[in-house]
Amino acid sequence: ADLFVADFVGKTNLLSGKVAGLSGDLVDVALADGTVIAARKRVPLNRGEAVSVSLRPESLSLSAPGGGSLEGIVRNRIFLGSTAEYAIEVQGIGSL
Residues 3-31 pLDDT 10s: 777 667 778 888 899 999 999 899 999 99
Residue 1 pLDDT level (bands cut at 50, 70, 90):
low
Q: How many CB atoms lie within 10 A of CB 80?
A: 7
* Structural contact between residues 29 and 36, judged by C-beta atoms closer than 8 angstroms: yes
d(CA 19, CA 51): 7
Q: What is the CATH number of domain 3-95?
A: 2.40.50
Confidence of residue 83 (pLDDT cuts 50, 70, 90): confident
The whole-angstrom separation of Cα 60 and Cα 20 is: 22
Bridge partners of 74, per DSSP, are: 88
* pTM (global) more than 0.75: yes
Pair 76, 88: CB distance under 8 Å? no
